[in-house]
Amino acid sequence: MRLLLISNSTNPGESYLEYPKEYIKEFLGEKPLNAIFIPYAAVTFSYEEYEEKVNQRFAEIGHHVTSIHRFINPVEAIQNADAIVVGGGNTWQLVKMLQEKGLMKVIRKKVKKGTPYIGWSAGSNIACPTLRTTNDMPIVEPLKFKTLKLVPFQINPHYLDDNPANHGGETREVRIKEFIEINQDTYVVGLREGTMLLLEEDELVLMGNRNARIFKYGQDPKELSNEDDFSFLLK
């Protein structure tokens, strides 16, 4: 499998998809591909707007996406895709739409056969076994929490070390520790903004200049950098 799982689309002060665009270019290669874009996580703006926004950045690296909403048969569109790109937004809405359109198994089967998969934020979250480590409000109710299970661990995108000023609620770390208390066999990767996980064959590495924070029940959280091997998460 080939996966590029990006924490966030935009760093403060940058244009949309500015920081990951060179990683995306290297991942996809030089040859233009038939890349299908899945915009279903969008809630407050249209799929057309989302497609255009992504293409403005992809054009700079010699690539183009076509949104899946433009196809009469979305299953066939996935089956014929050279690459699959899943944008961020609300994870619950994304999962509900993929389930209703019967695309979860189709995407999983396609990616398992080697089709490159790129996701950011919600698009990274659904590469995991479930959506239960998303930060998003459950604005809709999907049929189930199970997602693509392209990797055996969970990702918490946009991982933050601190709470906002004057906020007395739980930190992100506390929330994740609640998760691993109940799900004791599952690793959770706190994927900080500006970073991404790259999976090629059986090698998993961190890209970007910030560490990832790894959580597992019965272990102290540990910090790993882009010089570390993350492949133990695949076992």
Which of 67, 136, 161, 162 is an active site residue? 136
- Is 162 one of the annotated active-site residues of the chain? no
Give the C-alpha separation, 177 to 20, whole Å. Answer: 29
Which of 63, 69, 124, 158 is an active site residue? 158
Q: How many CB atoms lie within 10 A of CB 186?
A: 19
- Is 228 one of the annotated active-site residues of the chain? no
Helices (H), 82-184: 91-100, 104-112, 122-125, 172-182
Check if the beta carbon of residue 216 is closer than 8 Å to that of residue 177. Answer: no
Structure tokens at 130: 């479930």
Find the helix or strand (DSSP H, E) in which 75 lies: helix 74-79
Task: Kindly state the DSSP code that residue 67 receives in the 8-state scheme.
Answer: E
User: How are beta strands 83-86 and 65-67 bridged, if at all?
Assistant: unpaired
- Is 158 one of the annotated active-site residues of the chain? yes
Percent composition of the chain: helix, strand, coil (DSSP 3-state, to 5) = 30, 20, 50
Check if the beta carbon of residue 78 is closer than 8 Å to that of residue 64. Answer: no
Query: Residues near 232 by Cβ (< 8 Å), separated by ≥ 6?
Result: none
Query: Residues near 60 by Cβ (< 8 Å), separated by ≥ 6?
Result: 21
Which of 9, 67, 121, 124 is an active site residue? 121
Catalytic residues: 121, 136, 158
